[in-house]
C-alpha cells in the first residue's frame, strides 16, 4: 500500500518503491513533518516528538517542523499561506478535521482536511503518490465557505523539511541566449531566494529545487521538487538554527493578491517531488519517466525545418516553397514558417495582432504554400505570438483598452510591442478564435507559440500574474480538444517558458535562441537534470553563429542537435554538395535512433580525461548510443575512458567505435569501459551499441 495510516497516533506514511514520507497531527492539532528518506516499513515506528520552547524568543510555533506553516501566532518563519479575512483579521489558526483517500490506476491520493477555527476557510493538503516512480505530487486547495470574500496574499504549495545542514543547492541562472546555466551553491545561514516577477518563467531562474549532500551522478542523497506553474514563482531555501533545511515553492507573493469570493475554490500549482539515495541520475530518470508516461503526448517528435534564419522577416511564398522542397530532399518531416508571414510584418515594430496573411508575400493566400508543402509529404507549421500587439496595428487601433495599462500612465513598449490583457474574456475569445480559424481553415500541424517580452502596467488587479497564464493554458487545451493532432511548441524568446506547468499543455520546448552547438551542450546538460529529452528542441544552424560568431563543423552541430528533438534552421539553399550529403546522412541516422533518444533513458557520463570531453548515453531496451564531444584539444593524445551505465552485467554487447567493433560484457563496459580519443577542435562522434547475447 502506498498510503499507510496509524489512526491511534494520527501518523500518515506515504510509501513509494524505495522511499517513505511521514507526517502526523500533534497534540496541538498542528500538521508536523516526521520523515523523508529511504523506505521504512512500519508506521508504528514513528513517534510524535514533544516540543518545548528553547526560550521565549524561540517559541514552539517557530521551531515546529510544520508541513504547511500559516501566517499568524508566534510564527516568524517563512509561511505558506497568508489570508486577510473580510473583517480585516490577518491570521490563520487551523485545526485538523480529518482525511480522505482516493485511489486511481495511476496514483493514490491522500487529502488532509484542515479548517480555520473561526472563519469558514477550509484548507486541503493533497498528496498524490506515484509509487513506482518514487515521486509525490503536492498541492493545496482553498475553499471559501463563507458569505464574504477573503484575500489570499501568499500561497506556497508546500514546505519540505530536509534533516541536514550544509547542503548543496542547484538551480540555473542566465539571460536571453544563455538560459539553463547550472549553478551549485552551499546552503548556509541566511536564505536563498529564486523567483521570477516578469510573467513568464524567465531566463534567469527555473521553478525547481535540488538539494544534495555531496551527491554524485550515482551516489548520495538528493531531494528535489519541480513546480507545475508557468509565470511568477518563488522558492526559498533556508538552513535553520535548529539543524534542518527548509524549502518552500509556489506562487510569488510579489504584487500578488487573490480575492477568493464567497463559495469559491482555488487550487495551488502542484509540486512534483522526490528523494534519491543514489544520486542525480535516479532523480532525472524518475522525473523523465513520469513526464513521458503522464504528461507528454505519445508518439515520436518529427524532424523539423524552420525557415527563420534563412529568411528572417523577408518571407515570400516562392522562397518558402524552395526551402520546403530542399528540406524534404534532406529528410525533414515538418516545415515551419516562422515570423513574418502576417499583417504588415517586415520587422519587430508592426504586425502583431493583425493575424491575416500578408497579400504581398502570399498573393494567392498561404494555402498555396501549404498545398506545396503537403504535396512533398511534409507536415506544415507556423509561428505566432498571440499574447502581443504592436501599436501601429489595426487591432490596437480598434481595441487600445485590450493591453495591460493604467489610465494615468503611458504603457511601456518592449521589442516594439504591448502585452494583451489575457485576463479579459474578450481578449481570450479573440486569441482563441484567431488560432481556431488558422487551424480550421488551413492544414496546419504545428504551432510555434512565442512570447518575446515581460509584462508591465498590470492593471488594477493583483491576480493577473496567475490569471494570464491560466488563460494561455485554457486556450491551448481548448484548441487541442478541437484539433487533437496539432503539436504546440512553447517558446518565450528562447527558453523563457521551460517548466512543468506548460509541459503537456505544450508538446515541445524551444530551449534557447542560442543555437551555437558548443553553447547548447551546457544548456542541454542543465536542462536534462529535471526536464525530459523528448521535449527538448535543438537545431542545426549556420556558422558563424549569430551569437557566438563561432565556426563549428557541421558534424559537431548535428551531433549536438541530435541529443534532443532534431530541427534544422540553416539556409539550406546555400548548402554545398558536401553539406547536403552530410545532412541527409545525419537526418537519416537520427530517424533510426530517434526512439532511443526521445523515449529511452538518459545518462550524463563521467569525463575521466584532462581534456574537456562531454559524454552522454541513451539506452532503450537492448540498444543504446553515446554522443562524445571534444570542443578543443587541450592536451594532445590524452584519451578518455568511457564507462557506460544502465547495462545488464551478464549480457554481451556489441559496441561500434567508428569502423571497429568490440564485444564485451555489460559488467566490463560499466566497470572497465573502453578508450576513446578525439583530436582537434569541435570533434565529435556517435557510438552505437546493442545487446547481442546473455551469458
Residue carrying C-alpha cell 569525463: 607
pLDDT at 637 over 80: no
Note the pLDDT of residue 693.
Answer: 87
pLDDT at 62 over 90: no
Note the pLDDT of residue 571.
Answer: 97
pLDDT at 599 over 90: yes
- Helices 317-330 and 577-599: angle between axes, nearest 10 degrees: 70
Q: Smallest Cα–Cα separation from 49: which of 22, 71, 89, 83?
A: 22
Residue carrying C-alpha cell 486556450: 475
| CA–CA distance, 246 with 225 (Å, rounded to integer) | 12
| CA-based end-to-end distance of the chain | 37
Residue carrying C-alpha cell 474578450: 426
Mean pLDDT of the chain: 96
Note the pLDDT of residue 253.
Answer: 95
Q: What average pLDDT score do residues 573-595 get? A: 98
Cα 234 to chain centroid, rounded = 15
Comparing 201 with 474, the larger pLDDT belongs to 474
Q: What average pLDDT score do residues 206-223 get? A: 97
Note the pLDDT of residue 61.
Answer: 85
pLDDT at 636 over 90: no
DSSP track, 600-612: SEEEEPPP-SSS-
Q: Which of 338, 354, 445, 513 is catalytic?
A: 513
Could you read off the pLDDT of 651-664 as tens digits, one per residue?
999 999 988 999 99
pLDDT at 695 over 80: no
Could you read off the pLDDT of 26-60 as tens digits, one per residue?
988 999 999 999 999 999 999 998 877 778 888 88
Residue 617 near residue 625, CB atoms below 8 Å: yes
| CA–CA distance, 417 with 463 (Å, rounded to integer) | 22
Q: What average pLDDT score do residues 293-322 get? A: 97
Q: Which of 450, 507, 516, 601 is catalytic?
A: 450
Domains of the chain: 3-295 (2.70.98.60), 304-596 (3.20.20.70), 605-694 (2.60.40.1180)
Note the pLDDT of residue 51.
Answer: 79
Could you read off the pLDDT of 443-465 as tens digits, one per residue?
999 999 999 999 999 888 899 99
513 is catalytic: yes
pLDDT at 279 over 90: yes
Could you read off the pLDDT of 162-193 as tens digits, one per residue?
999 999 999 999 999 999 999 999 999 999 99
Whether the model clears a pTM of 0.95, i.e. scores above it, the answer is yes
| CA–CA distance, 135 with 272 (Å, rounded to integer) | 7
Residue 40 near residue 12, CB atoms below 8 Å: no
pLDDT at 635 over 80: no
Give Rg (Cα) of the chain. Answer: 27
- Helices 517-528 and 554-561: angle between axes, nearest 10 degrees: 20
Amino acid at each position: 500500500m502506498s498510503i499507510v495510516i496509524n489512526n491511534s497516533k494520527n501518523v500518515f506514511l506515504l510509501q513509494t518503491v524505495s522511499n517513505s514520507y511521514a507526517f502526523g497531527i500533534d497534540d496541538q492539532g498542528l500538521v508536523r513533518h516526521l520523515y523523508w528518506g529511504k523506505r521504512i516499513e512500519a508506521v508504528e515506528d514513528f513517534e510524535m516528538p514533544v516540543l518545548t520552547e528553547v526560550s521565549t524568543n524561540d517559541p514552539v510555533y517557530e521551531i515546529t517542523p510544520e508541513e504547511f506553516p500559516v501566517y499568524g501566532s508566534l510564527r516568524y518563519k517563512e509561511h505558506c499561506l497568508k489570508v486577510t479575512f473580510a473583517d480585516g483579521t490577518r491570521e490563520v489558526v487551523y485545526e485538523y478535521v480529518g482525511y480522505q483517500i482516493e485511489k486511481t490506476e495511476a496514483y493514490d491520493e491522500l487529502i488532509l482536511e484542515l479548517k480555520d477555527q473561526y472563519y469558514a476557510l477550509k484548507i486541503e493538503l493533497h498528496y498524490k503518490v506515484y509509487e513506482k516512480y518514487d515521486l509525490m505530487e503536492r498541492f493545496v486547495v482553498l475553499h471559501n465557505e463563507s458569505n464574504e470574500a477573503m484575500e489570499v496574499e501568499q500561497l506556497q504549495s508546500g514546505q519540505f523539511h530536509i534533516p541536514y545542514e550544509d547542503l548543496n543547492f542547484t538551480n540555473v541562472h542566465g539571460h536571453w541566449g544563455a538560459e539553463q546555466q547550472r549553478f551549485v551553491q552551499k546552503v548556509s545561514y541566511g536564505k536563498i531566494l529564486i523567483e521570477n516577477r516578469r510573467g513568464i518563467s524567465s531566463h534567469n531562474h527555473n521553478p525547481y529545487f535540488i538539494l544534495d549532500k555531496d551527491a554524485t551522478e550515482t551516489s548520495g542523497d538528493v531531494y528535489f521538487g519541480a513546480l507545475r506553474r508557468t509565470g511568477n514563482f518563488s522558492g526559498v531555501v533556508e538552513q535553520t538554527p535548529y539543524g534542518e533545511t527548509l524549502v518552500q515553492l509556489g506562487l510569488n507573493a510579489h504584487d500578488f493578491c487573490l480575492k477568493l469570493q464567497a463559495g469559491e475554490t482555488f487550487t495551488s500549482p502542484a509540486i512534483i517531488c522526490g528523494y534519491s539515495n543514489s544520486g542525480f541520475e535516479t532523480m532525472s530518470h524518475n522525473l523523465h519517466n513520469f513526464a513521458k508516461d503522464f504528461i507528454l503526448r505519445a508518439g515520436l517528435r518529427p524532424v523539423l525545418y524552420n525557415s527563420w534564419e534563412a529568411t528572417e522577416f523577408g518571407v515570400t511564398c516562392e522562397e518558402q516553397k524552395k526551402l520546403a522542397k530542399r528540406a524534404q530532399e534532406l529528410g525533414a518531416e515538418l516545415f515551419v514558417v516562422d515570423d513574418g508571414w502576417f499583417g504588415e510584418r517586415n520587422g519587430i515594430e508592426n504586425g502583431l495582432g493583425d493575424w491575416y496573411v500578408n497579400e504581398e508575400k502570399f498573393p494567392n493566400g498561404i494555402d498555396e504554400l501549404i498545398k506545396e508543402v503537403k504535396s512533398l509529404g511534409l507536415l506544415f507549421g507556423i509561428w505566432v505570438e498571440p499574447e502581443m500587439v504592436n501599436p501601429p496595428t489595426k487591432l490596437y487601433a480598434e481595441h487600445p483598452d485590450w493591453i495591460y495599462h493604467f489610465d494615468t500612465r503611458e504603457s511601456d513598449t518592449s521589442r516594439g510591442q504591448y502585452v494583451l490583457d489575457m485576463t479579459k474574456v474578450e481578449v481570450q475569445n479573440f486569441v482563441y478564435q484567431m488560432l481556431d480559424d488558422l487551424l480550421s481553415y488551413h492544414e496546419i500541424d504545428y504551432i510555434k507559440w512565442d512570447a518575446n517580452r515581460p509584462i508591465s502596467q498590470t492593471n488594477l488587479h493583483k491576480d493577473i500574474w496567475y490569471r494570464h497564464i491560466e488563460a494561455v493554458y485554457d486556450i491551448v487545451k481548448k484548441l487541442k480538444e478541437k484539433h487533437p493532432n496539432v503539436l504546440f511548441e512553447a517558446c518565450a524568446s528562447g527558453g523563457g517558458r521551460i517548466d512543468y506547468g506548460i509541459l503537456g499543455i505544450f508538446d515541445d520546448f524551444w530551449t534557447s535562441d542560442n543555437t551555437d552547438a558548443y553553447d547548447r551542450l551546457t544548456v542541454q546538460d542543465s536542462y536534462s537534470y529535471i526536464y525530459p529529452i523528448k521535449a527538448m528542441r535543438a537545431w542545426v544552424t549556420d556558422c558563424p553563429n549569430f551569437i557566438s560568431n563561432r565556426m563549428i563543423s557541421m558534424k559537431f552541430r548535428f551531433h549536438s542537435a541530435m541529443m534532443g528533438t532534431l530541427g534544422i534552421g540553416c539556409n539550406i539553399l546555400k548548402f554545398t554538395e558536401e553539406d547536403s550529403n552530410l545532412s541527409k546522412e545525419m537526418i537519416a541516422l537520427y530517424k533510426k535512433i530517434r526512439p532511443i533518444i526521445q523515449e529511452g533513458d538518459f545518462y550524463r557520463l563521467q569525463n575521466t580525461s584532462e581534456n574537456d570531453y562531454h559524454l552522454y548515453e541513451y539506452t532503450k531496451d537492448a540498444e543504446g548510443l553515446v554522443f562524445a564531444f571534444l570542443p578543443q584539444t587541450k592536451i594532445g593524445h590524452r584519451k578518455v575512458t568511457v564507462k557506460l551505465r544502465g547495462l545488464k552485467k551478464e549480457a554481451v554487447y556489441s559496441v561500434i567505435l567508428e569502423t571497429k567493433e568490440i564485444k564485451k560484457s555489460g559488467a566490463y563496459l560499466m566497470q572497465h569501459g573502453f578508450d576513446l580519443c578525439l583530436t582537434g577542435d569541435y570533434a565529435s562522434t556517435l557510438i552505437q551499441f546493442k545487446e547481442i547475447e546473455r551469458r
